[in-house]
Amino acid sequence: MRRPRSDRTANAEADERTVRTAALALLAGRDFARRELVTRLESKGYPRAGVQTVVEQLAAEKLLSEGRFVAQFVRQHAGRGQGPVRIRLELRQRGVEAESIDTAIDESGEDWVETARLARRRKFGASPPADFRERAKQARFLQYRGFSAEQVRAALGPGDDTD
């Protein structure tokens, strides 16, 4: 026996309200990338069509902003001592467009060489590397943190004055 059309419409609206409530609960905790929010909601068992509709609505209402998420992510991770290479990789894994990432990194105003120097100092102390082995160890650490070879060279170079 089929339900009347009005019942299906009412159920679809109720489903969308439920999805919206779940999405807003997630967004209350932190910003999300669009694809990350869709994946999270679908993993909770919400229907794909309802999730897509709600995410579009939230974006139109500016409750979900990819630009705001990316800018905040860059600031937060740079503050943790991570470099632009690693930040770019993590954002790509979250489904953010390359253009948005490049814009946010360029507009962050972050001095990546100074960020690398600070990360090196926090881990290894203020004194510069004493020998080649120590320099290589610190360079590997900075590369793992996501700094480019040029930034690593600059952070380990003579411009790194002790405080």
**CATH of residue 10:** 1.10.10
Count of the separate structural domains present in the chain: 3
Residues 102 and 117 in one domain: no
Look-up: residue for tokens 């909601």? 41
Q: Is residue 80 in a domain? A: yes
Quick check: is 161 in a domain?
A: no
Mean of all residue pLDDT scores within the chain: 88
pTM: 0.80
160 has pLDDT over 70: no
Same domain flag for 48 and 30: yes
Contacts of 160 (CB under 8 A, 6+ apart): 117, 120, 128
- Pairwise pLDDT comparison (163 vs 84), residue with the higher score: 84
Q: Report residue 10's pLDDT band, with 50, 70 and 90 as the boundaries.
A: very low
The pLDDT of 80-85, averaged and rounded, is: 95
Q: Would you say residue 162 lies in a domain?
A: no
* Confidence category of residue 28, pLDDT binned at 50, 70, 90: very high
| Residue 152 and residue 121 share a domain | yes
In this prediction, residue 15 carries a pLDDT of 82
Between CA 159 and CA 89 the distance in angstroms is 28
- Please give the residue range of the domain that contains residue 126: 112-156
